[in-house]
Amino acid sequence: MNPLEQILQCGQSIWLDSISRDLISSGELQRLVNEDKLRGVTSNPTIFEQAINRGNSYDDALRTLLQADEKQTDKALFEALAVADIRNATDVLRPVYDATEGGDGYVSLEVSPHLANDTDGTIAEAKRLWNAVQRPNLMIKIPATPAGIPAIAQSIGAGVNINVTLMFSLRHYEDVTQAYIRGLGGREEASPGKTVTWPVSVASFFVSRVDNIVDPLLEKHGSPEALALRGKIAIANAKLAYRRFREIFHGESFADFRNKGAHVQRPLWGSTGTKNPAYSDVLYLEQLIGPDTVNTVPPKTLDAFRDHGRVHETLTENVAQAEADIARLPDFGIDLEAITEKLQDDGVDAFAASYDKLLAALKTKRQDIVANHVA
């Protein structure tokens, strides 16, 4: 059996960490849904920047947009292109959404990374993008920054599906789960005497980037004990987050919401492409399999797992050892909390840089099109 189908039998959904107009128009996305049981798609500014800058697949659409209004801002042009792609992808995945009664089949669209420290701006943009796409299987991505946390709660309370992104630590995870639960409470309070329509959320916990920072520090320390932890801390960190997920969402504290039909906020493992060539190219898939989770996978990693992935439930294995491994880090002068805070800051900066690069590329394309009389 296709390993990607086997993962689904373990209760984990595979989402594709990529989107482009070609992916949708070529029928490749539909093929992945049909043959690999793909259950969702995620996007971010970096993904869109790469898609729009690669080739000329967006040029005709840009030309049409500029024919309608030459004075559109570069941001407006990007949003028009992105909304069209997201709508088309959600339509491909709508049968999955319907078959799972809203449990899966989602496509994510991120608010501007320049709003990462602006709570009110994030809330407004999340609502605006939600209304622009007009698909029930859309998720709006909001970062788990200090300003993003209240925006998550407010957006959930307003009935917007949210993919919380850029989480690296257990503290980030704790803040996000509580924001989701507060949002559900607000949603319930806003519907007195009515049947509540519960929004859906996932909590995107980033994985490989932790090893990218921690491994060189372990190597710098150089002791056998430190070197033995290389390639283990990111997975250990995720396993502890999953343990906390089960305590919160399958415990008494969430029981009332669960009994009323609210969805658990599934952990989503992000940044699961292997960066270190010394490790297995499917390391962050094979070691993070468990029920009520999502793994969002780059195309290359998806192909690798289809070819040689091994499937069994791993998230609940060796959790005590995972805790012990993380507890050893201070012995080697490594402050995981400080690392994960910097990773979140760096993630915001990287997405903002990609967003700006994307707008600059669109500016160049529009100049070329306008110079040719938008013909």
pLDDT in tens, 13-50: 999 999 999 999 999 999 999 999 999 999 988 888 88
How would residue 71 be classed by pLDDT, with cut points 50, 70 and 90?
confident
The answer to whether residue 280 scores a pLDDT higher than 80 is yes
**Rounded mean pLDDT of 283-290?**
98
> To the nearest whole percent, how much of the chain has pLDDT over 70?
99
- Catalytic hit among 37, 141, 232, 239: 141
* pLDDT number for residue 373: 65
How would residue 99 be classed by pLDDT, with cut points 50, 70 and 90?
very high
Helix (H) or strand (E) holding 316: none
Q: What integer best gives the mean pLDDT of the chain? A: 95
How would residue 374 be classed by pLDDT, with cut points 50, 70 and 90?
low
**Rounded mean pLDDT of 306-329?**
97
* pLDDT number for residue 296: 97
Cα–Cα distance measured from residue 34 to residue 27, given in angstroms and rounded to the nearest whole number: 11
Report pTM.
Answer: 0.96
The answer to whether residue 329 scores a pLDDT higher than 80 is yes
* pLDDT number for residue 12: 98
Lowest mean pLDDT among 167-176, 184-193, 345-354: 184-193
* pLDDT number for residue 270: 96
Domains delineated in the chain: 3-371 (3.20.20.70)
Lowest mean pLDDT among 177-181, 190-194, 238-242, 328-332: 190-194
- 317 against 375, higher pLDDT: 317
pLDDT digits (tens, 9 = 90+) for 111-131: 999 999 999 999 999 999 999
Cα 211 versus chain centre, distance: 18
- 260 is annotated as an active-site residue: no
* pLDDT number for residue 251: 93
How would residue 303 be classed by pLDDT, with cut points 50, 70 and 90?
very high
pLDDT digits (tens, 9 = 90+) for 199-215: 999 999 999 999 999 99
**Rounded mean pLDDT of 224-246?**
98
The answer to whether residue 281 scores a pLDDT higher than 60 is yes
* pLDDT number for residue 164: 98
Angle CA 172–176–180, to nearest 5: 175
Cα 35 versus chain centre, distance: 22
> To the nearest whole percent, how much of the chain has pLDDT over 90?
87
Going by C-alpha positions, the residue among 263, 234, 265, 296 that lies closest to residue 110 is 296
Cβ distance 176 to 167 under 8 Å? yes
* pLDDT number for residue 236: 98
The answer to whether residue 299 scores a pLDDT higher than 60 is yes
Cβ distance 214 to 203 under 8 Å? no
